[in-house]
Structure 1
């Protein structure tokens, strides 16, 4: 795991404010010329969070409209749809070259007790019993043209329950443990990192 890669990602999620509700993001290098969707999602959330105080995001819906390009900064425009007593709603547009590449609606709520909607997780081995995916990839000899990408330093430690060096099964779900490789400073950063990781 790489604390330097983690800090670099954390810095990419801190946006430059250009004007009221208008922000510019920097892109991370990817495999090819397209933006990583998790980065765009996390940065859109970061932009919205900068227009709200003391209300964590409890729901968001994002739509990838066009492929984003790595060599062009994304401009995020936030529209303040509503600020109520308990809820705030934001619409965020990600723009490159004057065209929308991403759209997101997000809802934020004052912290308060309420119903919990969470499924019980399936039993899996603890992370201590599993090997980091990067270390597994470093031992593999058949990674082809993506070897450097698969073995790069990553901002997250990822431990797959089904090791990546085993033949894939027909199963459509997977279980992994993930852990950010640097200190998480606050809840807003934690939510951004979860948004980023949702597309890994």
Structure 2
């Protein structure tokens, strides 16, 4: 496990300060607010820790073997988070059913809510089974790493900050990212392969939380591609996540290659919509993601 991944796992390993109340810290941000994927992942950790389940000795988060696993989350980003202040997560135990468990989490800083999450957990059961067909995508091992690709398209200091911020995750674009084709509108679709830069424990919650963390990194890229915009990295768009939803269909490992196939069906009113599917390398549909974000052109 590399140091960056270990630091990210420490970030997700929340401190419990009271029953159903947890505290998390933040890492340095690329912009003057907390990264949305971090808040969403930490909130899911807080929710998961209150779900009845057998614990596994040595687990960084919690083992859900014998208990429900996360199957969906719906979240709203209410205010920009302050990267220099702790975040307090309060969990409301909405429902503990035989099959489904529901939790509501509010993240608070400086006395104000900055984020709201509803998460649902389900005990495994057999049922009907079908899925879409995985799209074609290049082999991730043939694609350049972030350290190889970013300096080709961004100024040195910006590229270095992005490489450092994403060091815990091996993130590989199947095509040139939006900030590499500024002024050249393209089909609003983007594919990214990702996995953690190191092996993880078998804790299912850990893999789900890390996928949640990564899911906020690139989803609105497809909005930018449609308009030939590069985003915050080149300063031609101001953006922020508004809401985020995920459905976890099948088990997966975040330390093995996952294909993040993203597209944007619409942008209007200063907002852009991104929708995506996350696939395992062997073709199983693991996650569906939808996000709307602020996408404004500076004046």
Normalized against structure 1, the TM-score is what?
A: 0.92
Equivalent residue, structure 2, for 1:183: 199
What whole-Å deviation, never above 9, does each CA across 1:60-104 have from its counterpart, x for those lacking one? 100000111100111000000000111100000000011000001
Within 2, Cα distance between the matches of 1:141 and 1:160? Answer: 13
Query: How far did 1:30 drift?
Result: 0.9
Q: How many residues were matched structurally? A: 198
Pair 1:34–1:125, CA change in 2 (3 A): same
For the 8 Å contact 1:159–1:177, the answer to whether it is kept is yes
Pair 1:66–1:9, CA change in 2 (3 A): same
Pair 1:37–1:117, CA change in 2 (3 A): farther
Residue 151 (structure 1) aligned to one of 139, 151, 163: 163
- 5 Å matches for 1:28-43? 28-43=27-42
Q: Which runs of 5+ in 1 are unaligned?
A: none
Which is further off, 40-49 or 140-149?
Answer: 140-149
Equivalent residue, structure 1, for 2:215: 198
Q: Aligned to 1:68, what secondary structure does the other structure show?
A: coil
For the 8 Å contact 1:23–1:76, the answer to whether it is kept is yes
Q: Does 1:94 align with 2:107?
A: yes
For the 8 Å contact 2:70–2:119, the answer to whether it is kept is yes
User: What's the RMSD between the two structures over aligned residues?
Assistant: 1.8
- 5 Å matches for 1:1-200? 3-52=2-51, 53=53, 54-116=67-129, 118-138=131-151, 140=152, 142-143=154-155, 146-152=158-164, 154-164=167-177, 166-167=180-181, 169-185=185-201, 186-200=203-217
Within 2, Cα distance between the matches of 1:117 and 1:146? Answer: 43
Pair 1:166–1:71, CA change in 2 (3 A): closer
Query: How far did 1:145 drift?
Result: 5.1
Within 2, Cα distance between the matches of 1:22 and 1:117? Answer: 39
Query: How far did 1:181 drift?
Result: 0.8
Q: Which runs of 5+ in 2 are unaligned?
A: 54-66, 218-299
For the 8 Å contact 1:76–1:95, the answer to whether it is kept is yes
For the 8 Å contact 1:82–1:88, the answer to whether it is kept is yes
Within 2, Cα distance between the matches of 1:117 and 1:26? Answer: 40
Q: Aligned to 2:88, what secondary structure does the other structure show?
A: strand
Within 1, Cα distance between the matches of 2:29 and 2:187? Answer: 27
Structure 1 moving runs of 4+ over 4 Å: none
Q: For CA contacts below 8 A with separation 6 or more, give which structure has more relative contact order.
A: 1
For the 8 Å contact 1:65–1:100, the answer to whether it is kept is yes
For the 8 Å contact 1:133–1:163, the answer to whether it is kept is no
Normalized against structure 2, the TM-score is what?
A: 0.63
Query: How far did 1:141 drift?
Result: 6.6
Query: How far did 1:129 drift?
Result: 1.6
